[in-house]
């Protein structure tokens, strides 16, 4: 076992600095006392996909979209750094760096090693991508930092250790990320974007740099220096020396008529002087670069060399006490630290972000909902295969597929990926990458399952363990076989009971567990809304439910047999089904076909039931404006100086025009197809299902629309006014309703004319428009009961309650969002309760913390709000809640969304957006997603917890949803049940589950393990864990603790102390809005030290270990 795995040299030692070489803080040019120190920081911001795909950016293809090629940037920068030892550069996105690195010759690699050893090339951030902070889950953030930093560490050793977080472009900043970065050992964090009102106030009061407490429970260990950059991440105006810019070079030939040194130096000095007045120390940082800059690095360096030289000359001559030098964010931070300023404090977060009075970047919290869902599913698969590779002791040759999935998930966290702010073709590429990576990585799961079943991972498999598309209730293996095996993996280190739903055809089924017991099951017809999802390719008409009792880290298999074939019905069914078969693609291709432009799907017809009464309420395009005017007037003024725009405006107008035309043509075509083919291409809707069914339990339809169901103390009654959910024995009830906001449309030339788009949410109404109920039905069963409602505008919902659970699941199918009226729409669901929350509500921070929000309020400045709806939206990564004295109503989401509580008692969540205009922040496309040629249909769910003693329990509930059991199905037509019994069908790797502990990470780590344990104790108590008592087959020989990202020994990390203004409050949530509760935090270290053999994890703490281990039987 090699304990130098952090930065172990490969063969020749390229990483240890030679005599005279210095890296890290030691390599910094020392700031001069009594001088204004100007830190010139050359940098490039390389989006891991945005307007172009990751590979298009890397190779520089499609330069007609954007002139950007990352390989040229790195090539060019390395040459320029080599030329002149004063020059420095920082690099951020390890996804790109790694791709480039692996393609370099030995000679170039050696040069890069030297540059890193000498501190001339420094890594900041260093994660696989610069992750978004609203839609990214903390588990995925930690993973993608770990992955990027591991590559740097393994390659370059400690000289490549990034010291600062570099989140200069994400659109708002989360408190949890601050906490995570502190736990990863970063000394500081730099931000580019903060609300324009916040920034204004901070500039005025010199509060641009602060001490941010990341987590109240973790206290001072979560504190991190945070600096907001003066000019986002751009150079001073006029000083961009790039092929992408048009600024004047420094001309220093006195004989040239263009000579401009004096003028340029004066301009520059005046700028830095202004900037320095807004900061507390005698240091300023200048970010010399931007999006994909430095493709021809010599342009920058030639001019920066001169700027530095001539400014210093002038300063020396005129005793200006200013000094310029090449620097890095690390070195700037060190200089600030040495100046020892007193810092203001912060305990809330930087959401939402507004760049002007009408541009609230709260739309992206919900943009591209299917991508957001897929990203979450990707995490589930990643955690599973990481665990199984270790638990099942699988061969190392699996590791490349594991790495592929780690990389794909790292890319997905990028601030133009999971956010949905990329171009549509880039979305498709992200999905392609992730889909391929999941499919490749599943070899690990299959080997593990096979090893459990047969005792040998590599023995020919008996079962296929197919991935199913359960979000659309489709699964090839279960719907095409008369007997099949369902295998369920529980990735949590505690036991869960889960109601499993398997897509099947009509019939009768028996479910057997591994002991041969027949489990209670219930067959339920699939709603027509789900059957009609255009991307769905499935023969399943029903869903078979049973309850799986799953131990911690276990697999459980169930044998399911179709026990009777209802001959008469079946014949009819099969006929219809065979027709549908024609375009039944390989289900296991999963997402691959999702976005194909296939126009034959009869079930995917754009519905024509746009409610005309509602239409009147929607503001129309002014009558005086004909369609052509509309396009002509459509400008695309991008006030964001950083986003490349150029000729995009015209292109965008054309694209949009094309899109609308295509849309109309498609609707017309599908309408014609339907007219001609109706007879031979039956559309199996819900009603036909019911007619075919002879099981009276299945569905009852009520003419008067008044239905009710009840289970577990939850009563749901629905009438023409909607669904009302009442919790018995508690004074709590709430109604469910759906609304839409018509999207604002303007030319984007002025703030007030901003369109709603991929980034921006801007409703063109002060009240949302409610959708009306068309029909309703109910199902009452042993395991689940539900009420199904169809509403206008293609909105369908199911409210489901369970025999064994006390939550309520709210499923919905939304879309295509009708746009025939030329108006984009944003759909929300609203829960309106009798709970009095007096303007306060709670949203999570990256799925981990809970942050209090107050309507029309910000904790640190006086808010002026011109967008009262959009400006009150917050990111909901995982949950949102309202609370009164005796009740809490909380909603756990299946993916990231935007949410709010605009009125007392309400929770509102945005579910789907379809917009027809760009919001002019660079993406250059309207957020108008289509699949199979029509507007995208989204299925999703929310889990409502109406009764709970305290909100702190939310994390565990959210975790159960986040890391839900993963279901695989295998055809067993050739496997008799008696042969199946001979396999091992139930196995747990857990010795016992430890109460209050979440196994956050278990993954192979070179020849060892990386293990993370998180304290999720509901009562904020420390927990003690005997690591050897967690896993059955793993004996721990030795452990060593690291910082959160696993790239530095914990003992080697020393936290900086800062002077601060006043004290932190003990709890931000208690203090916010409650003048009497501002109890100050006690910042003394408590001494919960590890005991012999026991690890002590403090409340909410995550501890990370590298573990040397052996397998035992």
Tokens for 82, please give them.
Answer: 């080599």
> Closest CB to Zn ion among 48 and 1106?
48
Residues 1040/1090, Cβ–Cβ less than 8 Å: no
How crowded is the C-beta side of 407, counted as CA atoms within 13 Å? 20
Least spacing, CB of residue 43 vs Zn ion, in Å:
12
Q: Nearest CA to 917 among 739, 766, 767, 760?
A: 760
> Closest CB to Zn ion among 175 and 414?
414
Residue 67 burial class via C-beta count within 10 angstroms: exposed 0-12, middle 13-18, buried 19 and up: middle
> Closest CB to Zn ion among 47 and 929?
47
3 state DSSP class of 74: helix
User: How far is it, in rounded angstroms, from Cα 869 to Cα 360?
Assistant: 10
Catalytic residue (one of 143, 169, 644, 904): 169
Tokens for 1059, please give them.
Answer: 């002077």
> What does the H/E/C string look like for 84-136?
CCCCCEEECCHHHHHHHHCCCCHHHHHHHHHHHHCCCEEECCCCCCCECCCCC
> Closest CB to Zn ion among 169 and 215?
169
3 state DSSP class of 249: coil
Q: How far is CA 935 from CA 432, 604, 608, 881, in A?
A: 20, 10, 13, 31
Measure CA of the first residue to CA of the last residue in the chain; give whole Å: 21
Chain length of the chain: 1113
> What does the H/E/C string look like for 668-723?
HHHHHHHHHHCCCCCCCCHHHHHHHCCCCCCCEECCCCCEEEEECCEEEEEECCEE
Least spacing, CB of residue 785 vs Zn ion, in Å:
47
Least spacing, CB of residue 45 vs Zn ion, in Å:
6
Least spacing, CB of residue 298 vs Zn ion, in Å:
25
> Closest CB to Zn ion among 48 and 181?
48
Give the Cα-Cα-Cα angle 983, 989, 990 (nearest 5 degrees). 140
The structure tokens 């809707």 sit at: 685
> Closest CB to Zn ion among 45 and 113?
45
User: How far is it, in rounded angstroms, from Cα 176 to Cα 173?
Assistant: 9
Residues that bind Zn ion (CB under 5 A): 47, 169
Residues with Cβ within 8 Å of 676's Cβ and at least 6 positions away in sequence, in order, are: none
> Closest CB to Zn ion among 168 and 385?
168
What backbone torsions phi and psi does residue 288 show, to the nearest 5 degrees? -95, 85
> Closest CB to Zn ion among 47 and 209?
47
Least spacing, CB of residue 169 vs Zn ion, in Å:
4
3 state DSSP class of 14: coil
> Closest CB to Zn ion among 48 and 808?
48
Q: How far is CA 708 from CA 85, 180, 520, 575, in A?
A: 77, 46, 23, 35
3 state DSSP class of 246: coil
In sequence order, the β-bridge partners of residue 853 are: 841
Q: Nearest CA to 969 among 531, 550, 467?
A: 467
> Closest CB to Zn ion among 143 and 169?
169
Q: Nearest CA to 768 among 746, 787, 748, 793?
A: 793
> Closest CB to Zn ion among 66 and 1042?
66
Least spacing, CB of residue 422 vs Zn ion, in Å:
10
Least spacing, CB of residue 697 vs Zn ion, in Å:
54
3 state DSSP class of 725: strand
User: How far is it, in rounded angstroms, from Cα 119 to Cα 573?
Assistant: 70
User: How far is it, in rounded angstroms, from Cα 760 to Cα 421?
Assistant: 10
393 tagged catalytic: no
3 state DSSP class of 416: coil
User: How far is it, in rounded angstroms, from Cα 762 to Cα 921?
Assistant: 14
User: How far is it, in rounded angstroms, from Cα 1097 to Cα 1088?
Assistant: 8
Least spacing, CB of residue 131 vs Zn ion, in Å:
11
> Closest CB to Zn ion among 232 and 636?
232
Residues 779/699, Cβ–Cβ less than 8 Å: yes
Q: What share of the chain is helix, strand, coil (3-state, %, to 5)?
A: 30, 25, 45
Least spacing, CB of residue 415 vs Zn ion, in Å:
5
The residue with its CB nearest to Zn ion is 169
User: How far is it, in rounded angstroms, from Cα 213 to Cα 208?
Assistant: 15
> Closest CB to Zn ion among 47 and 867?
47
Could you tell me whether strands 345-346 and 209-213 are parallel, antiparallel, or unpaired per DSSP bridges? parallel
Least spacing, CB of residue 41 vs Zn ion, in Å:
17
**Sign of the alpha-carbon dihedral angle for 296, 297, 300, 306:** negative
- Catalytic residue ranges: 169
């Amino acid at each position: 076992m090699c304990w130098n795995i952090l930065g172990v040299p490969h063969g020749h030692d390229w990483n240890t600095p030679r005599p005279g070489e210095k890296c890290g803080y030691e390599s910094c040019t020392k700031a001069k006392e009594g001088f204004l120190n100007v830190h010139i920081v050359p940098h490039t911001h390389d989006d891991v996909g945005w307007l172009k795909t990751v590979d298009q950016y890397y190779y520089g293809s499609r330069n007609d979209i954007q002139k950007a090629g990352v390989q040229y940037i790195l090539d060019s920068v390395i040459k320029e750094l080599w030329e002149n030892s004063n020059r420095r550069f920082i690099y951020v996105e390890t996804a790109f760096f790694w791709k480039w690195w692996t393609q370099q010759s030995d000679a170039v690699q050696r040069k890069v090693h030297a540059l890193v050893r000498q501190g001339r090339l420094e890594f900041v951030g260093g994660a696989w991508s610069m992750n978004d902070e609203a839609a990214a889950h903390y588990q995925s953030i930690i993973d993608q930092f770990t992955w990027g930093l591991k590559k740097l560490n393994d390659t370059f050793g400690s000289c490549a250790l990034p010291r600062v977080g570099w989140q200069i472009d994400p659109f708002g900043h989360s408190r949890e990320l601050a906490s995570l970065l502190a736990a990863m050992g970063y000394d500081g964090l730099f931000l580019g974007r903060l609300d324009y009102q916040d920034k204004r106030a901070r500039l005025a009061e010199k509060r641009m740099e602060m001490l941010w407490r990341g987590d109240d429970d973790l206290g001072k260990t979560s504190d991190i220096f945070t600096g907001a950059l003066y000019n986002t991440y751009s150079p001073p105006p006029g000083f961009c020396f790039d092929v992408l810019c048009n600024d004047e070079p420094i001309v220093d030939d006195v004989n040239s008529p263009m000579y401009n040194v004096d003028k340029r130096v004066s301009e520059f000095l005046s700028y830095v002087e202004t900037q320095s007045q807004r900061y507390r120390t005698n240091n300023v940082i200048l970010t010399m670069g931007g999006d994909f800059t430095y493709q021809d690095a010599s342009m920058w360096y030639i001019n920066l060399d001169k700027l530095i030289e001539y400014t210093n000359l002038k300063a020396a001559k005129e005793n200006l006490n200013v000094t310029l030098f090449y620097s890095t964010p690390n070195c700037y931070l060190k200089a600030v630290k040495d100046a020892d300023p007193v810092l203001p404090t912060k305990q809330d977060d930087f959401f939402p972000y507004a760049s002007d009075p009408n541009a609230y970047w709260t739309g992206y919290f919900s943009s591209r909902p299917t991508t957001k869902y897929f990203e979450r599913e990707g995490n589930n698969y990643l955690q599973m295969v990481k665990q199984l590779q270790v638990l099942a002791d699988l061969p190392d040759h699996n590791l490349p597929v594991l790495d592929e999935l780690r990389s794909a998930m790292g890319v997905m966290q990028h601030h133009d990926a999971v956010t949905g702010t990329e171009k549509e073709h880039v979305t498709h590429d992200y999905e392609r990458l992730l889909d391929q990576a999941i499919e490749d990585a599943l070899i690990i799961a299959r080997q593990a399952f096979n090893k459990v079943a047969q005792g040998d991972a590599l023995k020919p498999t008996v079962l296929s363990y197919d991935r199913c598309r359960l979000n659309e209730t489709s699964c090839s293996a279960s719907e095409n076989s008369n007997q099949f095996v369902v295998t369920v993996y529980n990735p949590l280190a505690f036991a869960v009971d889960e109601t499993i739903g398997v897509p099947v055809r009509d019939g009768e089924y028996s479910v057997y567990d591994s002991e041969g017991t027949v489990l209670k099951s219930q067959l339920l017809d699939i709603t027509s809304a789900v059957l009609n999802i255009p991307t769905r390719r499935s023969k399943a008409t029903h869903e078979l439910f049973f309850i799986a009792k799953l131990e911690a880290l276990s697999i459980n298999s169930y044998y399911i047999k179709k026990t009777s074939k209802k001959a008469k019905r079946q014949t009819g069914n099969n006929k219809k089904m065979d027709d549908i078969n024609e375009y039944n693609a390989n289900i296991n291709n999963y997402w691959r076909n999702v976005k194909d432009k296939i126009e034959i799907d009869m079930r995917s017809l754009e519905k024509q039931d746009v409610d005309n009464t509602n239409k009147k309420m929607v503001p129309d395009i002014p009558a005086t404006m004909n369609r052509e005017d509309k396009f002509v007037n459509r400008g695309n003024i991008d006030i964001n100086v950083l986003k490349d725009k150029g000729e995009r405006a015209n292109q965008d107008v054309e694209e949009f025009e094309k899109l609308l035309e295509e849309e109309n043509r498609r609707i017309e075509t599908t309408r014609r197809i339907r007219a001609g083919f109706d007879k031979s291409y039956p559309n199996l809707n819900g009603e036909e299902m019911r007619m075919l069914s002879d099981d009276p339990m299945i569905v009852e339809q009520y003419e008067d629309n008044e239905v009710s169901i009840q289970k577990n103390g939850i009563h749901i009654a629905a009438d023409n006014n909607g669904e009302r959910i009442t919790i018995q024995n508690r004074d709590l009830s709430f109604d469910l309703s759906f609304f839409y906001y018509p999207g604002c449309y303007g030319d984007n030339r002025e703030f007030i004319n901003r369109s709603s788009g991929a980034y921006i949410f801007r409703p063109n109404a002060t009240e949302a428009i409610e959708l009306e109920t068309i029909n309703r039905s109910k199902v009452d069963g042993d395991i689940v009961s539900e009420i199904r409602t169809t509403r206008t505008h293609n909105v369908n919902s199911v409210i489901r309650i369970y025999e064994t659970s006390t939550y309520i699941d709210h499923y919905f199918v939304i879309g295509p969002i009708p746009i025939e009226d030329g108006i984009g729409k944003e759909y929300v669901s609203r829960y309106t309760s009798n709970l009095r929350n007096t303007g306060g509500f709670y949203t999570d921070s990256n799925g981990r913390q809970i942050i209090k929000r107050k309507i029309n309020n910000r904790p640190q400045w006086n808010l002026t709000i011109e967008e009262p709806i959009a400006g009150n939206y917050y990111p909901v990564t995982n949950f949102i809640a309202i609370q009164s004295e005796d009740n809490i109503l909380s909603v756990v989401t299946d993916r990231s969304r935007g949410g709010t509580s605009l009125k007392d008692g309400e929770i509102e969540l945005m579910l789907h957006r379809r917009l027809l205009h760009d919001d002019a922040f660079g993406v250059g496309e309207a957020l108008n997603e289509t699949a199979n040629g029509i507007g995208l249909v989204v299925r999703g769910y929310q889990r409502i917890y109406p009764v709970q003693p305290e909100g702190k329990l939310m994390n565990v509930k959210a975790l159960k949803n986040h890391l839900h059991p993963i279901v695989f199905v295998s055809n067993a037509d050739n496997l008799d049940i008696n042969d199946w019994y001979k396999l091992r069908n139930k196995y747990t790797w857990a010795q016992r589950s430890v109460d209050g502990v979440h196994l956050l990470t278990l993954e192979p780590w070179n020849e060892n393990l990386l293990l993370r344990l998180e304290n999720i104790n509901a009562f904020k108590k420390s927990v003690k864990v005997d690591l050897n008592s967690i896993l059955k087959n793993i004996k721990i020989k030795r452990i060593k603790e690291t910082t959160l990202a696993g790239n530095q020994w914990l003992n080697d990390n020393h936290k900086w102390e800062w002077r601060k203004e006043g004290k932190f409050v003990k709890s931000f949530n208690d203090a916010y809005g409650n003048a009497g509760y501002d109890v100050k935090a006690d910042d003394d270290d408590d001494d919960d030290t590890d005991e012999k053999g026991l690890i002590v994890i403090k409340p909410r703490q995550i501890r990370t270990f590298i573990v040397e281990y052996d397998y035992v039987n």
